[in-house]
Structure 1
């Protein structure tokens, strides 16, 4: 919460269940079952919210033990910094709908590795399914949520077709499917702006994340979107 204080309330707290097997191996931890990891995630979310409360807090469960603990410093953002929960499975996304402020729609990384399985679990139709899981968890608060998605495959270019065809071949899809893939953006700044507006209308996604390597090339898209 110190970051929230130093940034004057700009912190967004991103949380997930942990899915990449290599990360567990690198630090010598056992990768628990999905159910166990999601249980832990839910407890961490509850603790993050409790931290911001006034007065002392007591938590005693399998993952967290706080006795007569008061979280300090208090965050600028109230009642707590916005919490983003990311994932691609039904249980995580229902949890996100119930507890998060921002829901990050991600691959269903059930195999614990990065590969073609992620692409097939994040198509347009799969993304609509994921949003339905979020709705089921959120209930009446769904309209209060912000939906985020990572544009992992982003190419701002006036000659996108060869790139699209290459990705389609690698991932076993068609060029049209690749262009419409919710985690991909191909085309000129104007074309990408139009696509983002169409996706906002179709999915309700208003928060797009691009990688550091695309920051400069994506700047014209950000500029063109102002006021749209």
Structure 2
């Protein structure tokens, strides 16, 4: 069984010294990585922020969570990520997805293409990124990207390339993850109206997603690491689990029209609610029954007692 790897994130706009201090605290506490979301609204650039985190630490891994592929040409992203990998001594993960948050696209006048197009563009981008990380002349002729005898530099420290985390909630993206990722990020599905498909939050839906990955991965399935993160509802430590579950049910009903049961909410891999004992039990169950060992806990220290009890196990 894989040991747990716990991640923390920083999503607000803070100063360089404050970000460095948070990163150092995360490293001292035993987090595996500090990650930065990739959105255009109300946050720091993940490229700049991860470079700052890497410079302030010596063992902490750094990553976005996750890069929106549509916002950067893969040649530019390859140079950025390889540069941080060199500067950090090989501590970068390449976390990338197809993009989902339509309001950001609308805000900057960027076309929000249908899901199959965004997913096809992501698949090409991953091929380009891996080719550029080779350090050899690389050519590619696709529908979305064309590269001609281009030798990308710098070359990342990690060979043949930094680990790829590909995240998504639909079958197409998770099939791609099964074929190309080292770490598979399990996410809720997002509907065309940019709202979460509440049914995709459940334990049963997560098991189905893992089956999709298994079908696509074939023999490489056993080498994959699975990641989960809290979604829809803030991390909540409480001894009144069922009362909190009721609040989540009401929230989902009002936002999506979906009606989940108490047990579906309590068991959901994406809803981190309950006592510390309950959350420890839940994460152990996620690893034992679903093989999920990489967990984004939220803000640094938010679930410090869970980290203390499960770190190294």
* TM-score strictly above 0.5: yes
Q: Distance between the aligned counterparts of 1:149 and 1:210, measured in 2?
A: 9
| Superposed CA offset, 1:67-88 (max 9, x none) | 2211111111111011111111
Give the match's secondary structure for 1:79. Answer: coil
Cα distance change on mapping 1:162 and 1:15 into 2, 3 Å: same
Aligned position for 1:221: 306
Superposition pairs for residues 148-163 of structure 1, below 5 Å?
148-152=227-231, 153=233, 154-163=235-244
Contact residue 135 and residue 153 of structure 2 kept, 8 A? no
**1:170 CA drift (Å):** 2.5
Over the aligned positions, Cα root-mean-square deviation in angstroms equals 1.6
Deviation (angstroms), 1:195:
0.8
**Aligned counterpart, 2:129:** 48
Judge conservation of contact 2:137–2:150 (CA < 8 Å) in 1: yes
> What is the DSSP-based 3-state SS (H/G/I as helix, E as strand, rest coil) of the residue aligned with 1:217?
coil
1:104-183 matches, within 5 Å, as: 104-115=185-196, 117=197, 119-152=198-231, 153=233, 154-171=235-252, 172-183=259-270
Query: Aligned partners of 2:207 and 2:123: how far apart in 1?
Result: 24
Q: Distance in 1 between matches of 2:182 and 2:291?
A: 14
Distance 1:15 1:102 in 2: 11
Which deviations, in whole Å up to 9, do the C-alpha atoms of 1:95-135 show, x marking residues without a partner?
100011111111111324134x2x21221111111111101
Secondary structure of the equivalent of 2:175?
A: helix
| Residue ranges of structure 1 left out of the alignment (5+ in a row) | none
Match of 2:27 in 1: none
Indicate whether 1:209 and 2:288 are aligned.
Answer: no
Distance 1:62 1:103 in 2: 25
Give 1:192's aligned residue.
Answer: 279
Task: Decide whether aligned partners of structure 1 residues 207 and 170 sit closer, same or farther in structure 2, where only a CA change above 3 A counts.
Answer: same
SS for the counterpart of 1:111 is coil
Q: CA deviation at 1:175?
A: 2.2
Q: Structure 2: how far apart are the matches of 1:207 and 1:218?
A: 14
Partner Cα separation in structure 1 for residue 167 and residue 176 of structure 2: 10
Unpaired runs of at least 5, structure 2: 1-81, 253-258
Greater CA deviation, 57-66 or 153-162? 153-162
